[in-house]
Structure 1
Amino acid sequence: MAHEIKVAELKAALAERLPLQVVDVRLEQEGGAIPGAVHVPLTEVDTYAWPWPRDTIVVVYCQWGREASRYAAEVLEEAGYTDVRLLTGGFQAWELG
């Protein structure tokens, strides 16, 4: 089961250039995106060829940090990713944080 990561923790990890991949599963990137995030719309999550090593830390976010990101996390875990995290509050929290 995916763990949650708070905005401050993600910002610190990005500033330290820790090896992680951020995935935006919103259908459209209205209002911007987290720097360096890969956009994989939720409609493509099931068929996307996840290119990263399976031990990569993957942080998934949607607009609010709820169902869409949880579903994407489940898909990633089924694909063999061992460290999947959900951004608490999604992109809304990122903008406020």
Structure 2
Amino acid sequence: MAKMLTLAALAGDPDRFHLIDVRDAEDFVAAHVTGAVHIPLTELEDRAGELPTVRTPVTICGKGGGRSAEGADILNRLGHPDALWLEGGTFGWLAQNT
């Protein structure tokens, strides 16, 4: 299983990471982390080639650990061994940073 990135680690060095929100469009529009790119989990495998190689990919979902962990696993399998998922997800980030 892919490794988790803590909210504190993201806050400490945000430019190191490429944030990918893997939720559905409706959820993304309702609330998302500033700078996150929206690639639904169902499209992630087909669109993985769009990810920049200079930053560590970090998948995000609402609470963290469900769809985001699955997304990071997909990216690990597709040649992004450093892909992580975000602890606390969108809601955790927004709670600490708004």
Structure-2-length-normalised TM-score: 0.81
Q: How many residue pairs were aligned?
A: 93
1:85 corresponds to? 84
Alignment of 1:1-97 (within 5 A): 1-14=1-14, 17-18=15-16, 20-28=17-25, 29-51=28-50, 52-53=52-53, 56-97=55-96
Name stretches of at least 5 consecutive residues in structure 1 with no aligned partner.
none
Say what the alpha-carbon RMSD is for the aligned residues: 1.7
State percent identity of aligned pairs. 30
Q: Secondary structure at 2:47's aligned position in 1?
A: coil
- Residue 93 of structure 1 aligns with an amino acid whose one-letter code is G
Q: Distance in 1 between matches of 2:83 and 2:66?
A: 15
**Alpha-carbon separation, structure 2, partners of 1:88 and 1:7:** 6
Q: TM-score normalised to the size of structure 1? A: 0.82
Shift of 1:50: 2.4
